[in-house]
């Protein structure tokens, strides 16, 4: 994000403003970013409208992204646990579920989430408008409805929270019936025996876990040399091992030369000369901001090649009354961060000045099987920055709670400064990693002496718990000091 200084938005509380505009603020998009902005604005008494082009609120996060993929993952994880737990299975007759069957659970969660989020807008008196939004000028939004009718609304401030969609290269035929992206894969109503997943980022790796857990043969094509290379190397190696051990074939450093559909499947040829064939293909290599239909030129804004907008530290664009939050501004492209961005943006609009900001160490949660979560620096980042550190580790297989739950894969790694004992990074791999990480994150957010690895030694944890891994890792690391 850029940090140019721009004029402050005027708060829309005076009577002149209220008679001049239809709304004090209009938010475009009902995903996490839009919801955070709309709730923050409405709670200060502003007249707020939010525009959603789809039939129900929630955005891509609820309908095609975070919620359904995690619901699918949960069902598959439980299936794997059932088939490998001697209490429930004799390991001779494994239970099998199809992709359409586990979709039913995801659809139920989506319905619940949609109903919940619609209630938020109703209780906070936010007007929800259905249709496609585009700019007429910096204070006027045109809404085009499904029946072709349209209406124009005026507003003091505008927040763009239109999210992103899967990147679709022009030379790949997504209308073939065999090639899907991470949105359309939820319309997969047959049970494939084999699948090619092109792109081994977060989405590709998560779906590799899901399909492999259902017994589907998976070829995971990674355009990079390492799987999830932004992770700590040890964690990257761990998920590579476990995906491979489950039967997923990972092909690193490959790019497609062509993707063609045949009567009996889809064939991918790589630039290195390899050929892969499967029943279907999931293309999961990148995302594009949803800005192409906003008519940005009408207000003098221009998106970059990825459809993303530049904003400053207050999420203000180059136009002083137009803001943008969430995936449409790029990094970190997380639902959790998007909601906070919307809330912080609303604070700036209503207060004119705010010192609140997104936290520096944003946790990442990757819902592979097993799952991954990290916060802070990796070992390679600390080494590159010439920051000394020590490592404390706890293996889940040594924890009583993990043994009881039969969840012994993985562990916790804590990186800390050898002199100050300040916690520099935490990396977790295994069951409930995305929950466990928040204990360490809370301590990392403390200032001064409160943020030290010694906290985990001097506190008392419930026993038996997975959280006890922090005490084990802290002792392990402190014992390395001399």
Q: Helices 66-84 and 99-123, interaxial angle, to 10°?
A: 140
Position 14 scores a pLDDT of: 42
Q: Hey, which CATH number is domain 168-285, 3.50.50.60, 3.40.50.410, 2.70.50.60, 3.40.50.11540?
A: 3.50.50.60
Q: Helices 66-84 and 202-213, interaxial angle, to 10°?
A: 40
Kindly report, residue by residue over 43-83, the tens digit of the pLDDT.
Answer: 999 999 999 999 899 999 999 999 999 999 999 999 998 88
Position 448 scores a pLDDT of: 81
Residue 155 pLDDT greater than 50, yes or no: yes
Residue 91 pLDDT greater than 70, yes or no: no
* Burial class of residue 120 (count of CB atoms within 10 Å of its CB; 0-12, 13-18, 19+): middle
Range of weakest confidence among 10-14, 31-35, 457-461: 10-14
Q: Give the whole-number percent of the chain exceeding pLDDT 90.
A: 85
Kindly report, residue by residue over 361-373, the tens digit of the pLDDT.
Answer: 899 999 999 999 9
Kindly report, residue by residue over 377-428, the tens digit of the pLDDT.
Answer: 999 999 999 999 999 999 999 999 999 999 999 999 999 999 999 999 999 9
Q: Helices 99-123 and 32-42, interaxial angle, to 10°?
A: 20
Q: Which residue has the higher pLDDT, 322 or 357?
A: 322
Strands 372-376 and 423-430: antiparallel
Q: What is the pTM of this model?
A: 0.92
Query: Which CATH number describes the domain made up of 370-478?
Result: 3.30.390.30
Confidence at 9, pLDDT banded by 50, 70, 90: low
Give the span between the Cα atoms of 197 and 93, in whole angstroms.
29
Cis peptide before 35 (omega within 30 of 0): no
What's the start-to-end Cα distance of the chain, in Å? 42
Are 15-64+101-166+288-351 and 168-285 the same fold in CATH?
A: yes
Quick one: CA dihedral 43, 47, 52, 55, positive or negative? positive
Residue 17 pLDDT greater than 50, yes or no: no
Give yes or no for a contact between 333 and 164, defined as CB atoms under 8 angstroms apart: yes
Domain ranges of the chain: 15-64+101-166+288-351, 168-285, 370-478
Q: Specify the fold of 15-64+101-166+288-351.
A: FAD/NAD(P)-binding domain (3.50.50)
């Amino acid at each position: 994000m850029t940090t140019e200084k721009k004029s402050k938005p005027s708060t829309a509380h005076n009577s002149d403003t209220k008679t001049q505009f239809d709304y004090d603020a209009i938010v475009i998009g009902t995903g996490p970013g839009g919801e955070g902005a709309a709730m923050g604005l409405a709670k200060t008494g502003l007249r707020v409208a939010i525009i959603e082009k789809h039939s129900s609120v929630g955005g891509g996060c609820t309908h095609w992204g975070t919620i359904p993929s995690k619901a699918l993952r949960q069902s598959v994880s439980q299936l794997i646990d059932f088939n490998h737990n001697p209490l429930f299975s004799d390991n001779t007759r494994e239970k099998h579920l199809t992709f359409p069957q586990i979709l039913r659970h995801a659809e139920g969660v989506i319905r619940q989430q949609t109903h919940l989020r619609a209630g938020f807008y109703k209780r906070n008196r936010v007007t929800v408008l259905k249709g496609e939004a585009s700019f007429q000028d910096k204070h006027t939004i045109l809404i085009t409805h499904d029946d072709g009718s349209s209406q124009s609304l005026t507003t003091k401030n505008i927040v763009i929270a239109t999210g992103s969609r899967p990147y679709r290269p022009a030379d790949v035929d997504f209308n073939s019936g065999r090639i899907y992206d991470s949105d359309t894969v939820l319309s997969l109503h047959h049970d494939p025996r084999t699948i090619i997943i092109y792109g081994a980022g977060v989405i590709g790796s998560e779906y590799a876990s899901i399909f492999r857990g259902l017994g589907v043969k998976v070829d995971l094509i990674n355009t990079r040399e390492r799987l999830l290379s932004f992770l700590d190397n040890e964690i990257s190696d761990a998920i590579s091992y476990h995906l491979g051990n489950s039967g997923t074939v990972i092909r690193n450093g490959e790019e497609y030369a062509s993707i063609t559909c045949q009567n009996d499947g889809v064939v991918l040829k790589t630039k290195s000369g390899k050929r892969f064939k499967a029943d279907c293909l999931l293309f999961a290599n990148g995302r594009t901001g949803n800005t192409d239909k906003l008519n940005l030129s009408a207000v003098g804004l221009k998106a970059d090649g990825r459809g993303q907008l530049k904003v400053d530290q207050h999420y203000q664009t180059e136009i002083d009354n137009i803001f943008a939050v969430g995936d449409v501004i790029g990094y970190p492209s997380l639902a959790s961060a998007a909601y906070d961005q919307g809330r912080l943006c609303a604070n700036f609009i209503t207060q004119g000045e705010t010192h609140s900001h997104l936290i520096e160490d944003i946790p990442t949660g990757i819902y592979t099987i097993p799952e991954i979560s990290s916060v802070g620096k990796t070992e390679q980042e600390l080494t590159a920055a010439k920051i000394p550190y020590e490592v404390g580790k706890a293996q889940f297989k040594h924890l009583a709670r993990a043994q009881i739950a039969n969840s012994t894969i993985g562990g916790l790694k804590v990186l800390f400064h050898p002199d100050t004992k300040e916690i520099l990074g935490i990396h977790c791999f295994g069951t409930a990693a995305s929950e466990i990480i928040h204990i360490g994150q809370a301590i990392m957010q403390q200032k001064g002496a409160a943020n030290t690895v010694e906290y985990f030694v001097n506190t008392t944890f419930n026993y038996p718990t997975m959280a006890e891994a922090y005490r084990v890792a802290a002792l392990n690391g402190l014992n390395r000091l001399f």
